[in-house]
């Protein structure tokens, strides 16, 4: 679990589009549908270049390569610097890891209470440490312990927390799925004021997630 923040380069293909959902296939390994109210951040967009520069300024050694190797979904219009989109800090990140050995749990894994508590303690500690590396003060003010759940027959671990930056509160939620040699992290971040708007959209997105091959 200690490598959970180490991202790999991802590729994706747009498979289908409905009136309000786009279905994505990532590395021919997973599928997920995303609301058309969100856009995939363009790798070559001016906005992405700016965000990369900001990241590099406070993370010059690239100890954790933030952004470049993850799929980042943002409010539609952000890449075009549309004012209403730029005012909304909501982001959804999807990271897919694949390794050679079957180190991770199976897709239908179960953790006992002790294992879940250990995972929770580890990630709370690591998240707190990571927030302290940011160029602005960001403190966790409420941490919700990890819970297990199931979607489409797939087990997941879910955690969330509320943080505060100069008085502005944000909500952060993370799902982790496993499939023997694969691990997927889906993370959702938004301001408290926008949480109600995006909660349902994110929950519907999670319901569409699946591994193409269960191992």
CATH of the domain at 165: 3.40.1000.10
Is residue 11 within 8 Å of residue 26, measured between CB atoms? yes
110's CB contacts (< 8 A; 6+ apart) are 148, 155
User: Is residue 115 pLDDT above 60, yes or no?
Assistant: yes
| Domain contains 3 | no
| Domain contains 7 | no
Share of the chain above pLDDT 90, in %: 58
CA distance 148 to 156: 6
| Domain contains 115 | yes
User: Is residue 11 pLDDT above 60, yes or no?
Assistant: no
H/E element, 84: helix 83-86
| Domain contains 73 | yes
| Domain contains 2 | no
Whole-number mean pLDDT of the chain? 82
The number of distinct structural domains making up the chain is: 1
Closest CA to 5 of 127, 110, 153, 188: 127
Q: What is the mean pLDDT of residues 163-180?
A: 93
State both tokens at 14.
Answer: 């747009």
Q: What is the mean pLDDT of residues 135-147?
A: 89
CA distance 49 to 215: 38
User: Is residue 13 pLDDT above 60, yes or no?
Assistant: no
User: Is residue 123 pLDDT above 70, yes or no?
Assistant: yes
| Domain contains 4 | no
Domain span at residue 162?
Answer: 12-211
Q: Is residue 128 left, alpha or beta, with left meaning phi > 0 and alpha meaning psi from -120 to 50? A: alpha
pLDDT grade for 24, boundaries at 50, 70 and 90: confident
| Domain contains 6 | no
**pTM of the shown model:** 0.80
| Domain contains 92 | yes
């Amino acid at each position: 679990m200690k490598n959970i923040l180490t991202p790999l380069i991802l590729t994706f293909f747009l498979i289908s589009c409905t009136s309000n959902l786009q279905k994505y296939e990532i590395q021919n390994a997973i599928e997920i549908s995303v609301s058309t109210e969100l856009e995939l951040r363009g790798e070559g967009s001016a906005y992405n270049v700016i965000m990369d520069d900001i990241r590099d300024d406070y993370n010059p050694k690239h100890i954790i390569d933030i952004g470049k190797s993850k799929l980042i979904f943002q409010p539609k219009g952000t890449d075009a610097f549309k004012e209403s989109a730029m005012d909304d800090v909501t982001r959804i990140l999807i990271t897919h890891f694949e390794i050679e050995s079957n180190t991770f749990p199976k897709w239908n894994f179960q953790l006992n209470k002790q294992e879940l508590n250990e995972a929770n303690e580890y990630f709370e500690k690591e998240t707190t440490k990571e927030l302290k590396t940011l160029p602005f003060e960001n403190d966790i003010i409420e941490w919700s312990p990890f819970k297990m759940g199931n979607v489409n027959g797939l087990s997941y671990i879910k955690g969330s927390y509320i943080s505060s930056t100069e008085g502005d509160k944000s909500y952060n939620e993370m799902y982790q799925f496993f499939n023997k040699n694969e691990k997927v992290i889906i993370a959702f971040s938004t301001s408290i004021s926008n949480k109600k708007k995006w909660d349902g959209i994110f929950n519907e997105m999670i319901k569409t997630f699946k591994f193409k091959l269960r191992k």
